[in-house]
Amino acid sequence: MTAVVTPPADPALLARLHERLEARATGADAPDVHYRTVDSPVGRLLVAATEAGVARIAFEREGEDAVLQTLADRIGPRILRTPGRLDDAARWFDGYFAGRRDPFALPLDTRLAKGFRLEVLGHLRDVGYGQRVSYAALAATTSSPRAVRAVGTACATNPLPLAIPCHRVTRSDGSVGAYLGGPEMKVRLLALESTGVLPE
């Protein structure tokens, strides 16, 4: 029986491999996530971004700690409170709630949405200020035109509400349907966009 002889490992190669594994384990190769909170007429918003763009907008009811933990788990463990880096986003929210109709023009990082959900978010960006579209009509614009329920799920799990306006999607009977910020908030946002004034 012939013995198998394993050649000695290259120490430099092993060192580089060890560094890569260690970086992966500690998240050192993951992007930093910068965040701030913004006080708004609909409650405190959390806005988080990577170098690629705004990655998450969360409502107060979602819980700041839970949102930050999800960002750490799904993007990277370095979560940094750096309000100044997100001043442009804060100014956009101020303008939006004051009735300005400017679309959210800052870069977006959509890595938290995958597959069909990401496709739906792309179509949502085409729904203009003050417009409404039904879940069925939105589904008809996608690669799966009968996937009305999946469109509803994509809207309900939209990581970038307001910037990607899932609040403009309603049921075919005209009722508002579900919303991450709650149905009452959805009604208020639709009223803001139709009248220019956010109801109390």
Catalytic residues: 166
By DSSP bridging, strand 169-170 and strand 33-38 are unpaired
| Token duo for residue 153 | 């799920």
Q: Give Cβ neighbours of residue 86 (< 8 Å, ≥ 6 apart).
A: 34, 35, 36, 47, 49, 54
CA distances from 26 to 15, 47, 79 (A): 16, 24, 13
CA distances from 15 to 21, 24, 27, 179 (A): 10, 14, 18, 50
| Token duo for residue 33 | 């996530």
Short-list 182, 166, 194, 159, CA closest to 49? 159
Amino acid letter, residue 9: A
Cα distance between residue 194 and residue 56, in whole Å? 26
